Structure 1
């Protein structure tokens, strides 16, 4: 990685911790314990962004100093800073002997220890699509053929998190069209609800009820991922989640499986993830993670298009439904 420290700061705007202050935004306060925990996740995102924005060469060493439970969020923030810098820089020819795109800041972040956070890096890169055209983000960044659709999830999260309840209500009024891009975007929006509502499941349910019926399972898939990856779900809130059934329960389990695989790939499955995955899928976290990993190659063999990504999600939901009996 050869970008200068000053150049990186010029290309990427600063991100104030105040922008992710949950109590200071139009978000609900939820349960105090949940809100405070989710706040630490958001601040880890800002810290990762700050470290990558500084343009230091030893970004992986600095991110390694962040506690494992929050490190994925820091990589997510670093990925946003890297993506913005790459998108603001004219394209360069690949370095001789390197993999295509690996001379970019985002490519550097995916190398070495960053490979363990490949899911979070793709999600973080997608935040750039909240301010730039999705096609530009999709075309310009060195993304994995299948996981690149997680960037679209990231874009949906950013819209919900920064837009708050007002933006979510406006998106809910849009008709349910047969558009897989908008479907995956809504999954990210659902994930943002866990932060916007600060872990209040009944409030999340009321938000989701405002969407067309066909999109509601996709929003719950995002909620399941956030619950299991970020944590902050009390026993009382789990009881509410476990009342879901049918397509919504399968989607919730699919999000949980994604979270389990992302945590396992990073080499650290915290207790809250293990407990939440078991509660939402009925199987151990390792088994749920296998649903995602074992079906990934089959999805990729179908091609790099979003339909393959959606097949992957549906296959995980099918396995979750079969496991539930």
Structure 2
């Protein structure tokens, strides 16, 4: 079967590979769509994701598809079911798993990172991370459940109430998701700051952003109870701290480079009594994410700007395809 294999740093090859072997606790999935995100860019460049990817490996950790076959121990799905897959697999035995912090698992493995993922016609995953997709959610939308669930995990780490004013910094795919998710969680005012005037206008017109800031020309007021940093650059991380009012919470969601640092006024953290929260991957957030898609509170299909084929992926991760909001790869014609 056809697979796009990461064979080394900045090297992707279309290869004919054997179908994966199915273990008793696993599900064999015919891939419909696989999303491409910043983690895939990093893995392609030889940088770590949630874990290290050791070539040769098939990437693709944002996946949807149709169950082709189930192992003898599987009871939660059956052949023909439409599914989405949480890529992260926890050991259940380390200190962090045993203290209800599985996202910090010492032995984390992941579909599309440490084991072959969705950039191939079929892949396997443990049944414990395979979720049925509601009938009214397309498989194209279902390929984005993993990034949605990462945002939902970050939201769950905060204390949210309706009176709060929230700011999202970053008008990329994740920032635009956060605008909708914060509203779904009941925050009454959600503003967006970014560098793309078209995206800012769209979020105000279509997705309910109250105010927008074009940060190349406009300053952000220090007036927010909740600030989501969804870029991962030092200047936007500093903006996030500076946009806070007293008692605010800052979610540092954007992923910077491993050696990256930023500057902040530690007296301001003390004087404002700020909470600065990191967020890593997405433990047990798939059900909530699928529910928001099914309820209509979250519109992702209008954020997907590009539908690629396997042979276009390398062009994308090399930056040869421009003006991308979100790209998914159509791996097969499964519906």
For normalisation by structure 1, the TM-score amounts to 0.31
The answer to which structure has the higher helix fraction is 1
Larger radius of gyration: 2
For normalisation by structure 2, the TM-score amounts to 0.31
**Which of 1 and 2 has higher RCO (CA within 8 Å, sep 6+)?**
2
